[in-house]
Structure 1
Amino acid sequence: MWIATLAASSAAERLYVNDKKVPESREDLMAIQTSLQKHLAEARQATVCIKMGQGSGTGVIVSETGLVLTAAHVISGVQKDMKVIMEDGTEYEAKSLGLNSENDAGMLKILSDEKFPFINYEAKSDDGRPATRVGDWVFALGHSGGFDKERGSVVRLGRLIKVAETTVHSDCVLIGGDSGGPLFDMSGELVAIHSRVGRRLAQNMHVPLQVFHAYWEMLEKGEFIGDGPFAKKPKPGTGFMGLAVKDVDGGLEVTQVEPDYPAADAGIEVGDVLTSLNAMPLKSKEDLRARMKKFAEGDRVLLEFSRDGKVKSVGFNLVKR
């Protein structure tokens, strides 16, 4: 897979039509069209659909190793299993990293050793921010309504109508499924990530790149920052595996596995003997109950068990009962 990076903008590359209230001629319209065409193909290569359960959102790859920026409300939690779909339909396993629940910034990682097309997120002005102003022309990408291979990601052209410290507004038309997608200026620089779809389709909010830069290390480490409103930290004791056990010598024998819950999806079967949870021995049902009180919905656990004399282990994310 080929690699694409978008160059940083400069004063010389600033689109002159940005400084006009409206395009005044055919040449002005052609300038906007030429700028869009110059950067659209590369931007689309790095724009991905994010699948989580029955829902979907959008993200943009910002490193050849598969680091993806998106919205916090798209991933909704840390260390969660999800899937990423490339523009050509190729699908990869991914895991959510950290999120800022107050500013709607999220990060995830594609679980592959391949090299991916990506956008240069470090393209900034001298003061550390994208060199954008109110009135600048921008284009938005997103997998509107979910992934559609024949259609591909959808492009919308618009202008910035407000620029603030933690939010920028544009009149690009966004709908469900676009959340987490990238907003670019006309020099191909990544400006922001789609956050909230407004009451009016043409008034939408985005998280500016400086928010991601401010919390970058915490996001990479998988930290849950803040306490809403875009994501809520799960409460301990809400995690559920979906199985029943009884005490036996050497561990806990599985007596029931509920279909469509994590234990069943991970391959746990009736008769398996659970021996440890997150590398700590399981000695009784009370031991398991006490451990589960500490886990929240979305937490990942590693379960070790024996079957037919062989020791096996599986990892999975807990769900809410």
Structure 2
Amino acid sequence: MDTMSQDPRSRPLPVPRPGDAPHPHGPATPTSGAGNPTGSAPGPFPAPPVLGPAIGPGDGPQAPAPRRPRRAGLLIASAALLALLCGGVGGYVGSELAGRQDSSSADVAAGNVEAIANKALPSVVTIRISSSSGVPRGSGSGFVLRSDGYIVTNNHVASAGGDGAGLKVLFSDQSEADARIVGVSPTYDLAVLKVERKDLPALELGESDDLKVGQSVIAVGAPLGLTGSVTTGIVSALNRPVVTGDDDSSGGASSESNSRSYMNAIQTDAAINQGNSGGPLLDLRGKVIGVNSAIYSSRSGGSIGLGFAIPADQVRRTSDQLIRTGKAEYPVIGLDFDPGYSGDGVKVSKINPDGPAAKAGVKEGDVITSIDGVATKDPKTFLVTLRSKEIGDTITVGFKTGEEQKSVTMRTGAGS
């Protein structure tokens, strides 16, 4: 049976439970995002598997935890939840790669992987996490979004140390800087950090809506603490519904709020491992087209060619909100659903009379079957599809009232 990906040297950790205070994922784990999967996609995930955290290897203390029965084929968030493997090979690899000559813009434009890697590496960082008492909690990856010190990573990386945690950013030249959290979005598993640096080399966000299956991509980050690691692959699939966090059917009945993360993810076969969380997935123009966030792993751990990234268009929307307001919003339509409903679709159990769905004519007891033509076969695919929209988007919702199939349009509202 497939289980959480773990470093061979570390003991297994439980998948974090949403809602545990103060650290939703437990004392040695980062907070994982909220939400339910949306966006139905063809392929092996008719109902998206739940994601739990994965870990960067550590030489510091690791929290023992009991094994829990796992569902076959769990998706694992590639978070840095354990103490970081410091120094040695990782630091050498990062500094050596970053120390090469800058590539020419012509080489980057031509899709030369070496040139793209050399240009991107100075913008990719390793994030080291410690608890409020200074105990190492792990490491993850990130990248410079703006030259004035704003850095993007995953929420499950930024929140790994809990309240009062210490965050240090290691740059490719081996310099370090303390970082503070600007804002996090558990719903989209994204976070923005700030360091007091200027004139940092920033990466540009691309357009993930333009991606094609089969397109070449490059993943950069610090897998297993090995800073400055570069791997290549292709886009294996698009709009793959992925959910991070523990299964919580009792608490998953609301489309308005939830403590899990939902991705309409980019699937790639580029090698992504524990510690890659928060690092960029690049196209052959050197632009960020996704943020690496999860892997599908067997019991033996490590990459098996099934990695998942948050699309750049979502990263752009969420990071802009976090930088402007410290909070991120997500689209809602004003209803709760029945988690015990076993038929196809999402059965409405409660509706906000002032919400978009009610105003469009949806009632309690109706069964939502699609959003913009995408089948919503269960609450997870419903939420992933809905969360992939923008606030204020006009969407078409298909639903059944009794045996009658209907279709209505509505504008999404804002939740936070």
Q: TM-score, normalising length from structure 2?
A: 0.42
What CA distance in whole angstroms lies between the structure 2 residues aligned with 1:79 and 1:210?
Answer: 31
What CA distance in whole angstroms lies between the structure 2 residues aligned with 1:177 and 1:160?
Answer: 20
What CA distance in whole angstroms lies between the structure 1 residues aligned with 2:143 and 2:149?
Answer: 9
Residues 52, 140 of structure 1: alpha-carbon distance in 2 compared, 3 angstrom cutoff: same
- 1:196 alignment partner in structure 2: 294
Report the secondary structure of 1:197's partner residue: strand
Q: Structure 2: which 5+ runs fail to align? A: 1-101, 131-135, 240-262, 331-416
Report the secondary structure of 2:112's partner residue: helix
Residues 211, 138 of structure 1: alpha-carbon distance in 2 compared, 3 angstrom cutoff: same
**1:47 pairs with 2:124:** yes
Which of 201, 204, 212 does residue 120 from structure 1 map onto? 204
In the alignment, is the contact (CA less than 8 A) between 2:237 and 2:267 conserved in 1? yes
What CA distance in whole angstroms lies between the structure 2 residues aligned with 1:88 and 1:174?
Answer: 23
What CA distance in whole angstroms lies between the structure 2 residues aligned with 1:217 and 1:40?
Answer: 26
Q: CA deviation at 1:107?
A: 1.2
- 1:64 alignment partner in structure 2: 147
Residues 212, 206 of structure 1: alpha-carbon distance in 2 compared, 3 angstrom cutoff: same
Q: CA deviation at 1:215?
A: 2.3
- 1:179 alignment partner in structure 2: 277
Residues 52, 132 of structure 1: alpha-carbon distance in 2 compared, 3 angstrom cutoff: same
**1:159 pairs with 2:257:** no
Residues 192, 207 of structure 1: alpha-carbon distance in 2 compared, 3 angstrom cutoff: same
Q: CA deviation at 1:100?
A: 1.8
What CA distance in whole angstroms lies between the structure 2 residues aligned with 1:189 and 1:181?
Answer: 13
Residues 180, 48 of structure 1: alpha-carbon distance in 2 compared, 3 angstrom cutoff: same
Question: How many correspondences in the alignment?
Answer: 193
In the alignment, is the contact (CA less than 8 A) between 2:237 and 2:268 conserved in 1? yes
What CA distance in whole angstroms lies between the structure 1 residues aligned with 2:189 and 2:148?
Answer: 23
**1:143 pairs with 2:247:** no
Q: CA deviation at 1:172?
A: 1.0
In the alignment, is the contact (CA less than 8 A) between 1:6 and 1:119 conserved in 2? no
- 1:280 alignment partner in structure 2: none
Cα RMSD (Å) of the superposition?
3.1
> What are the superposed Cα offsets for residues 275-298 of structure 1, whole Å, 9 maximum, x if unpaired?
xxxxxxxxxxxxxxxxxxxxxxxx
Report the secondary structure of 2:224's partner residue: coil
Report the secondary structure of 2:296's partner residue: coil
What CA distance in whole angstroms lies between the structure 1 residues aligned with 2:273 and 2:201?
Answer: 25
- 1:87 alignment partner in structure 2: 172
What CA distance in whole angstroms lies between the structure 1 residues aligned with 2:202 and 2:270?
Answer: 23
Matches within 5 A, 1:140-289: 140-146=219-225, 148=226, 152-164=227-239, 166-199=264-297, 201=303, 202-220=305-323, 221-223=325-327
In the alignment, is the contact (CA less than 8 A) between 2:127 and 2:167 conserved in 1? yes
In the alignment, is the contact (CA less than 8 A) between 1:95 and 1:111 conserved in 2? no
> What are the superposed Cα offsets for residues 49-96 of structure 1, whole Å, 9 maximum, x if unpaired?
001112100001011111111111111279854110001110001111
What CA distance in whole angstroms lies between the structure 2 residues aligned with 1:56 and 1:73?
Answer: 11
- 1:245 alignment partner in structure 2: none
What CA distance in whole angstroms lies between the structure 1 residues aligned with 2:236 and 2:187?
Answer: 22
Report the secondary structure of 1:134's partner residue: coil
Q: TM-score, normalising length from structure 1?
A: 0.54
Q: CA deviation at 1:191?
A: 0.6
Q: Structure 1: which 5+ runs fail to align? A: 8-12, 16-33, 227-321
Larger Rg: 1
Which of 181, 190, 197 does residue 96 from structure 1 map onto? 181
Report the secondary structure of 2:156's partner residue: helix
Q: CA deviation at 1:116?
A: 0.8
Residues 80, 135 of structure 1: alpha-carbon distance in 2 compared, 3 angstrom cutoff: same
Q: CA deviation at 1:38?
A: 2.2
In the alignment, is the contact (CA less than 8 A) between 2:233 and 2:268 conserved in 1? yes
Residues 106, 87 of structure 1: alpha-carbon distance in 2 compared, 3 angstrom cutoff: same
Q: CA deviation at 1:6?
A: 11
Residues 96, 117 of structure 1: alpha-carbon distance in 2 compared, 3 angstrom cutoff: same
Residues 185, 130 of structure 1: alpha-carbon distance in 2 compared, 3 angstrom cutoff: farther
Q: CA deviation at 1:105?
A: 1.6
For CA contacts below 8 A with separation 6 or more, give which structure has more relative contact order.
2
* Percentage of identical aligned residues: 23
> What are the superposed Cα offsets for residues 18-56 of structure 1, whole Å, 9 maximum, x if unpaired?
xxxxxxxxxxxxxxxx62022111100100000111210
- 1:318 alignment partner in structure 2: none
Residues 189, 224 of structure 1: alpha-carbon distance in 2 compared, 3 angstrom cutoff: closer
Q: CA deviation at 1:224?
A: 6.3
Residues 206, 78 of structure 1: alpha-carbon distance in 2 compared, 3 angstrom cutoff: farther
